[in-house]
Amino acid sequence: MKNVMLIISMLLLCIGVGAQTAKNVGKAGAVVKTVKAEERPEVLIETTMGNIRVALYNETPLHRDNFLKLIREYHYYDSLLFHRVIPDFMIQAGDPYSKNAPKGAVLGDHSLDYTIPAEIRLPQIYHKRGALAAAREPDMVNPKRESSSSQFYIVYGRKQDERGLQRGRDNLRQLFGDSIQMTDEMREVYTTVGGTPHLDGGYTVFGEVLEGMDVVDRIQRVERDANDRPLEDVRIVKATILKDLPGMEKKPKKVMKRVAKKSVRRK
């Protein structure tokens, strides 16, 4: 974790820290449990390489509500970088230190000062190509697999052969024994569309790309340094809510003052 202090000229994030934050987000999720699956919120992520439209899953209300809150009330993702991209794997953003980071600075170690309880919904929701998922710290310091409050990644992955599928099966067996197994649908999607089955069960998938996978493709193929940061910045110009939760459309904008020095280690 870097010994660098970043001061953001905004007031303290009202949802607080740690368990208190998770509790508040949980209350928000409880309010909207009746929202139908087909009425998913949608977000437009405008980047310097094009636009990506995503839907958020109502099956993962804590992550959904947190993502919407950061966009709706804080405009949190505006001007942040995709600080980590790996071809045929994923693109990652959400480090608050990336907004004004100098060229070549190592990014990815920071998030806001709270985590979100895991909402792993296998086998229905998995790491298919286009999946929107939350980054997190590794099991050794995060055995409950709680998610970063702000860092997310979008899966690109690759079309899987039998070796890739077996790696995914082995991972599920290690995590869940025989209680959760790769389904026929998962196998079909992973072999014909693509994805990253070895991440299933380890990270919360909370949405998917509806439009803009061509943009994701372009981003994940840019030139990058030894830390997988693009040599030329790929920036989120603006993130806006296209379809909000019922009753939340006119929530006022708030601002936040500080960012925790909380490490989000690499997968």
Q: Residue by residue, what is the 3-state secondary structure of 208-261?
A: EEEECHHHHHHHHCCCECCCCCECCCCEEEEEEEEECCCCCCCCCCCCCCCCCE
Model pLDDT, residue 247: 81
| Contact call for residues 72 and 217 (beta carbons, < 8 A) | no
- What would the pLDDT profile of 158-168 be if each residue is shown by its tens digit? 999 999 999 99
- What would the pLDDT profile of 58-101 be if each residue is shown by its tens digit? 999 999 999 999 999 999 999 999 999 999 999 999 999 999 99
Question: What radius of gyration, in Å, describes the C-alpha atoms of the chain?
Answer: 18
Neighbouring residues of 160: CB distance < 8 A, sequence distance ≥ 6 = 168, 190, 191, 194, 195, 197
Higher pLDDT, 130 or 264: 130
Task: Enter the tokens of residue 206.
Answer: 């909370």
Alpha-carbon gap, residue 245 to 258, rounded angstroms? 27
Minimal CA–CA distance to 195: which of 168, 171, 221, 222?
168
CB atoms within 10 A of CB 29: 19
Model pLDDT, residue 2: 38
Lowest mean pLDDT of 158-172, 190-204, 250-264, name the range. Answer: 250-264
pLDDT at 15 over 70: no
Model pLDDT, residue 261: 52
Three-state DSSP class for 142? coil
| Contact call for residues 68 and 116 (beta carbons, < 8 A) | no
107-144: burial string, b at 16+ Cβ within 10 Å, e else: bbbbbbbbbbebbbebeebbbbbbbbbbbbbeeeebee
Model pLDDT, residue 53: 98
Query: Among positive and negative, which fits the CA dihedral 146, 151, 154, 158?
Result: negative
Model pLDDT, residue 77: 98
Model pLDDT, residue 263: 56
pTM above 0.75, yes or no: yes
Q: Compute the mean pLDDT over every residue in the chain, rounded to the nearest whole number.
A: 86
Tell me 155's DSSP state.
Answer: E
Find the mean pLDDT for residues 218-247.
96
Minimal CA–CA distance to 242: which of 103, 115, 112, 52?
52
